[in-house]
Structure 1
């Protein structure tokens, strides 16, 4: 089996980049469908319109309905055809990106991803995570190609709620550990091949960047400052984690996230917050040494990422609830089977309870 490495065609990051979105879009088509939330339009609509006016390019806005589900994707496919758009732009957060990528896939058009937050590694990938209309994980949609362009305006991102960037660090935290597991098991990655040295290097750089800059970046963002540490974390959350997870592989952490989506208790938690707890659970399943587990627990606690079931919103962690999570995480086609040992729902359930206990102990040290 060949080794495969994939990535977006172009990645642009810097302050004020949203002023150039029309110029970038003109390279790919004649009329853009811009998928954005109502709140996103209120914040950035005038800036985007001015950019398209400067580029002398036609565009259509359409408000995102809130869920990356087939109902929404099919609706937007109809808009593309009705308005005769030939380039898709997703502006906002992770579910908007995944929806824009899916719409571009089904209509065979180029896609530009413009995050206004750095909360997931979704922007760079050739993957859309599909949910039901009610918000439960349904399936992975593997796309023909990565986005044509990913554009990160760090001025906008640094003004977004700090919790979102911290959530992005929770998502990125899983990258190296899942890549390591896939390398050990010789698993197939999301790119359709085996792990490359380049992908492993990016996954490890992602982890090192988080450890060296994560706390500094959070403090700076809370002060309203966009510092070099913030710039590095935006890149780690988006580019390094995006390429790392896709070309080096997913394993336990994201599967446990998917399992947690079956509980309504967790629906107010962000993707990266659930992935962070999934990472702790994966490390427990792997029986890593105490120093490594303590390092990750300390990092999560300092950032405010959830390390207990209660912090995830699960007040009553009954065996029935946790087994439902474990069974969903062990679904036949989910990535937990990329772990370098056999994984059963019973193993996952016990690891979840143990991760929760370690998390409660770590929090008790703060009192």
Structure 2
């Protein structure tokens, strides 16, 4: 199997870039479907229309109904076909991005992704995570290519609640550890190949950037300031993590996240918040060096990422419920099989309980 790395054709990050969307998207089509939430449209439409000017483009806004499910994807495919759209633009968060990518894939159209938050590494990936209409993980939809363009306006991202940036840090936190596990097991990555040196270097840089700039970025965003630390973390959450996870591979942390979606109490928490706890579970499962685990715990506590089950809304731990999480995480279509050793549901159950105990111990210090 060849070594393969995937990435968007172009990644653009800077202040005020949303005004140039029409110019960028106009390179791919002239009848552009812009998928966004109703509230998101109110925030971005004035700047987009200002930047469009007299350009010979038709912008068709479509509302996203909240879940990246096949029901929603098929609804939007029908509406975009009826409108004759030739380019799909997804503006918003991870589920909008994944929905836009899936719609573009099934329609055979180019796709432009515009994050308004830096809460996940979804923007750059050739992957859509599909959920049921009720929000339970169903499957990964692996796509043949990454988005044609990813456009990040840091002015917009900086105005989002700090919790969203922190959630992105939680998602990005897993990148290096999952890629490392895949490298050790010689597992395939998410783009159908083995891990390149470049992908592993980006994954490691992602982790190092979080440790160096994460706390400063968290504090700056709380003050509504777009500092260099914020810009570095936006790049880590969006690009470094996006390329790192996809071309490095997924392992334990995201499988644990997917299992946790079966517990209703966790639905109030963001993807990256659950992935952060999944990273701790993976490290316990690996019996990682305690100094490394402590570094991850300290980082999570400093920026407010979950380190216990209680932090994810699970106030009363039901052993049968946790075992169900463990069984789902070990599903054949998930990524725990990429760990460099055999993993059973009993192993995952023990690692979840062990990670929770560690989190409670360090929080009490």
Coarse TM-score class (shorter-chain normalised): over 0.9
Q: 1:242 Cα deviation (Å)?
A: 0.2
Aligned to 1:258: 258
RMSD: 0.7
For residues 268-301 of structure 1, what are the alpha-carbon distances to aligned partners after superposition, in whole Å with 9 as ceiling and x for unaligned? 0000000000000000000011110100000000
Contact 2:67 2:95 in 1 (8 A): yes
Tell me, in whole angstroms, the C-alpha distance in 1 between the residues paired with 2:80 and 2:286.
46
SS at 1:139 equivalent? strand
Residue in structure 2 matched with residue 7 of structure 1 by the alignment: 7
Counterpart Cα distance in 1 of 2:155 and 2:73? 29
Match of 2:129 in 1: 129
| CA distance, structure 1, for counterparts of residue 53 and residue 134 of structure 2 | 38
Would you say the 8 A contact 2:139–2:333 is kept in 1?
no
Q: Which moved more, 1:47-56 or 1:11-20?
A: 47-56
Q: Which runs of 5+ in 2 are unaligned?
A: none
Counterpart residue number, 1:312: 312
1:171 alignment partner in structure 2: 171
Pairing of 1:193-204 with structure 2 (within 5 A): 193-204=193-204
Q: Is the 8 A contact 2:126 2:142 kept in 1?
A: yes
* Residue 316 (structure 1) shift: 1.6
Distance 1:54 1:314 in 2: 53
What per-residue deviation string (whole Å, max 9, x for no partner) do you get for residues 225-273 of structure 1? Answer: 1011100000000000000000010000000000000110100000000
2:44 corresponds to: 44
* Residue in 1 that maps onto 2:87: 87
Cα deviation for residue 315 of structure 1 reads: 1.3
Distance 1:299 1:270 in 2: 18
1:113-172 superposed Cα distances (whole Å, 9 cap, x missing partner): 000000000000000000000000000001111000000000000000000000000000
- 8 Å CA contact 2:202, 2:240 repeated in 1: yes
Report the Cα distance in structure 1 between the residues aligned to 2:138 and 2:260, rounded to whole angstroms.
13
Measured against aligned partners, the alpha-carbon deviations of 1:84-115 in whole angstroms (never above 9, x if no partner) come to 00000000000000000000000000000000
> Hey, what's the Cα distance between the residues in 1 that align with 2:53 and 2:127?
31
- Rounded to whole Å, the distance in 2 between the matches of 1:272 and 1:80 is 30
Between the aligned partners of 2:100 and 2:51, the Cα distance in structure 1 is 20
1:54 shift after superposition: 4.2
Q: 1:53: Cα distance to partner?
A: 3.4
- Deviation digits for residues 319-362 of structure 1, max 9, x if unmatched? 11100100010001111110000011000001000100000011
1:297–1:54 Cα change, 3 Å:
farther
Q: State the distance in 2 between where 1:276 and 1:270 align.
A: 10
In 2, are the aligned partners of 1:22 and 1:54 still within 8 Å (CA)? Answer: no
TM-score norm. by structure 1 comes to: 0.99
Match of 1:360 in 2: 360
After TM superposition, give the deviation of residue 56 of structure 1 in Å.
3.0
> Is 2:92 the counterpart of 1:77?
no
Structure 1, unpaired ranges of 5+: none
Q: Distance in 1 between matches of 2:294 and 2:6?
A: 33
Name the CA distance, whole Å, in 2 between partners of 1:289 and 1:182.
18
Alignment of 1:274-285 (within 5 A): 274-285=274-285
Residue 80 of structure 1, CA deviation: 1.2
- Report how many residues are paired: 365
Asked if structure 1 preserves the Cα contact closer than 8 Å seen for 2:171 and 2:273, the reply is: yes
Contact in 2 for aligned 1:52/1:59 (Cα 8 Å): no
What aligned pairs does 1:314-333 form with structure 2 within 5 A after superposition? 314-333=314-333
Are 2:76 and 2:103, in contact at CA under 8 Å, matched by a contact in 1? yes
Counterpart for residue 350 of structure 1: 350
Asked if 2 retains the 8 angstrom alpha-carbon contact of 1:251 and 1:338, the reply is yes
Separation in 2, partners of 1:175, 1:287: 18
What is the distance in 2 between the residues matched to 1:297 and 1:54? Answer: 52
Where do 4+ consecutive residues of structure 1 move more than 4 Å? none
The question of whether the paired residues in 2 share the 8 Å contact of 1:176 and 1:244 is answered with yes
